[in-house]
Amino acid sequence: MLDHVSIGVRDVARSRRFYDAALAPLGYTCLFGAEDSLGYGGEAPEFWVSASDSPVPADPRSGLHICFAAPSRASVDAFHAAALAAAGRDNGRPGLRPDYGPHYYAAFVIDPDGYRIEAHCGEPA
């Protein structure tokens, strides 16, 4: 349904360090990089990070979050570890979320700008 998603950030270089690290275990890389804009994806950019003087304010009650598909549970674990090592904050350790489905395995982090980020794998162990 969606072609791409874009977020605004105050510091593109800081976001690049975070997203390069966090998305690598999921198989996503920066396919487009400029001083004020980054495009991440597998084969084509689908997640864009752009400089903004007025990014969406961090609000944990807003319901806004972005979920990235993960190829395996191990990649979800690696995403979480890499995100925390790259200045992310924990928002839910890797594990099964039975309320979401019997095989819903996910981890949640908060990026340096306050965006809530998830990695999810729906495959059985």
H-type helices in the chain, by residue range? 12-23, 73-85
Which domain covers residue 111, as residue numbers?
Answer: 5-53+64-121
Please say if the pLDDT value at position 125 is more than 80: no
Q: Say if CB 32 and CB 47 are below 8 A apart.
A: no
Size of the chain in residues: 125
Question: In this structure, what is the dihedral angle of CA atoms 59, 17, 28, 100, given to the nearest 10 degrees?
Answer: -30
Domain of residue 90, CATH code: 3.10.180.10
Separation of alpha carbons 109 and 81, rounded Å: 10
Residue 58 lies in a domain: no
**Taking residues 67-76, what's their average pLDDT?**
97
What pLDDT is recorded for position 23? 98
Total domain count, the chain? 1
Please say if the pLDDT value at position 63 is more than 90: no
Burial of 62 (0-12, 13-18, 19+ CB in 10 A): exposed
